[in-house]
Structure formats: structure tokens, C-alpha cells
Amino acid sequence: MSTQTQTETTTTSETGLARLRALWNDYLPYWFVAPMVLVMVLITFFPGAYDLYLSVIEEPTFDVFAAEFVGLSNYATAFGRGGALHSFIITVTVVVSALALESVLGFGLAALVAGVESERLQSFYRVLFIVPMAVAPVSLATIGRIMLNSEIGVIPYLIEATTPFAAPAFLSEIPLLTVVLLDTWNWTPFMFIIFYAGLSSVPDTLIEASKVDGAPLWRRYLHVIIPYMKPVVFVATLIRMIDLFRTFGVVYGLTQGGPGTATQLVSINIYEQMFINNSPGVAAAIAVVYLVFVVAIANIVIAKVGFEGVWD
């Protein structure tokens, strides 16, 4: 009797297992995407919705119905004494100038390295030039604080020892430029390595053909090589732009938004509203505007340039 039930249970569990296996294989694509969709919802819709909720209530509370609705007053505070507009301007300034500098430098370096005849030397430069990416922005900020310090920094010292000019006080007189320059040091390698790969993919025949025309070098780049590389240029710039809007560590480590609010990026402003001023409502209000702002810009860029050539 007992043995019989045992065999019975094993057969049912076996068929159960087989059924599970069939379920697994028949619906494989669903199982495969489900965790990704879950995590994506958690990291896109949830924070957006929760920021929105926090931004229109008085005080964060878990009892949604007990929360006191305050309308747009947090937004008014954010753009009033919260200095949100100022930090948006600072952010856009940093993003635009760093993006321009890194693209131009990255492309120039890629073109220079691609033209090196010795293959060994070429790969030496290729490896050397990606190394700055290994430095965490916050580490770079600490290195910058030391090397650029007006009293003990080696860079002001070298400037004054080798040139007739007085070294600027990097962190107090030109903090924004210093931030841009440090980010450029850190992330030009990103543009460089993608552009370099893009350049290597331009067929030799195309380059030879353009040479026969006798066009000057810059025109060959402008009219033949860059158009060919358009998808690569587009994607590198788009992703770097998105990442520049995420900048936090280098500025927080270098100046913490100062002196005053001279380098107060939106990220820094939100952080300070949340954790120094203890006003989550104001922080969330700026966060909502920032979210919409960045997603809108990125989508406009995507729509304008299109994914043609990138995808097909």
C-alpha cells in the first residue's frame, strides 16, 4: 500500500516536472524578459511616480492618505529660494562645454592615433589613452584638490615656475572651468575609443577615393569620413550627454557645489535640499523637473537625428 502511494507520488511529481519543463520551454521568451521588465519598471516608473508624489505633499509618510497635499508650493520654493533655475543653467553649461570639448578632443586624438603607421605604437596609444576612465570621478576630485591647491598644488607651482603668468586659483576663481577640465580629462577616453573604432571601420577604398579628389584633409573628414561614421558619432555623443547629466562625484568631491553656488549642478542642489536642508518636497520637485528635462532632451535628440543607420 505504502509502496503504491510512493510510486504514485513519484509519477505525479515526474509528470509535474515534465509539465513545468514544458511550461518553461513553451513560454521561454516571457520568462526571459519578465525579470528585466520588473526591474525596469522599478527603476523608471516607480522613481518618477514617487518623486512626483513627494513633490506635492508636505512630509513623506507611508500612509498615502494621511499625506498633506500642498499643490505646487514645493515647486515655487524650488524655483524661488531653492535656486533651481541657477543650477539648471550651471548644469547645461557644464554639459554643453564638456561635451563639445570631449567630442572634439576625442575625435582629434582618434584621427591622430589612427594615422600612426607603426601598429605597435598605435595600440600603445590606444591603451594609454583609455586609462583615465579607470579613475573614479570622486578620486579624480581628490587628486584635483591636491594638485590644483593654490598653496600646495603642483600645477599652480609648475605654471608659475615655467611661465611668466600667475596661476589662477582653480577652485575659487574658475571653479566651473576646473570642473569641465577635470571631466574632460576623465571622459575624453570614452569619446576617443568609440571614435577610434568608428574610424577604423571606414573602408580604405573610401579614403583613397577622397584622396584622389585632391580635397584638403579637413574637407575629407567633414564630407566623407564623418558622414560615414554618423551613427557612431551620434551614439557616442548621445550617451556621453546622458552621462554628463548624471555628473555628481567629481563636483561633489571637488567643490561640493561651491564656492557659494558657483558649481551647484542640479544633482548637487537636489542632494543638498534633501539631506542638508531636510526638505524632501523641494528636492523631489527639482528632481521631477530634472527627470522630465533630461528625458525630453534625450528623446528630442533621438527623434531629430533618428536611429536610422544605427539600427538598420
CA proximity to 284, closest of 45, 44, 50, 43: 50
Closest CB 138 distance from another protein, rounded Å:
4
Q: How many residues bind another protein (CB under 8 A)?
A: 100
Amino acid at 258: G
Applying CB under 8 A, which of residues 39, 72, 209, 300 lies at the interface with another protein?
39
CA proximity to 110, closest of 182, 180, 188: 188
Considering the rule CB under 8 A, would residue 193 count as an interface residue with another protein? Answer: yes
Which class for 93: exposed (0-12), middle (13-18), buried (19 or more C-beta within 10 A)? middle
Contacts of 208 (CB under 8 A, 6+ apart): none
Only segment of 9-17, 94-102, 164-172, 247-255 that touches another protein (CB under 8 A):
247-255
Considering the rule CB under 8 A, would residue 276 count as an interface residue with another protein? Answer: no
Which cell numbers in the block locate residue 269?
542642489
Considering the rule CB under 8 A, would residue 177 count as an interface residue with another protein? Answer: no
Binding mask 210-229 for another protein (x = CB under 8 A): ----x-x-------------
- Given a contact cutoff of 8 angstroms between Cβ atoms, the answer to whether 285 and 75 are in contact is yes
Considering the rule CB under 8 A, would residue 198 count as an interface residue with another protein? Answer: yes
Closest CB 123 distance from another protein, rounded Å:
8
Which cell numbers in the block locate residue 19?
509539465
Considering the rule CB under 8 A, would residue 285 count as an interface residue with another protein? Answer: no
Considering the rule CB under 8 A, would residue 266 count as an interface residue with another protein? Answer: yes
**Max CA pair span of the chain:** 102
Contacts 24+ apart (CB under 8 A), 60-67: 60/280
Considering the rule CB under 8 A, would residue 18 count as an interface residue with another protein? Answer: no
CA 170 to chain CA centroid, nearest Å:
24
Between 15 and 31, CB nearer to another protein? 31
Q: How far apart are the first and last CA of the chain?
A: 66
Binding mask 94-123 for another protein (x = CB under 8 A): --------------xx--xx-xx-------
Between 1 and 161, CB nearer to another protein? 161
Considering the rule CB under 8 A, would residue 270 count as an interface residue with another protein? Answer: yes
Considering the rule CB under 8 A, would residue 291 count as an interface residue with another protein? Answer: yes
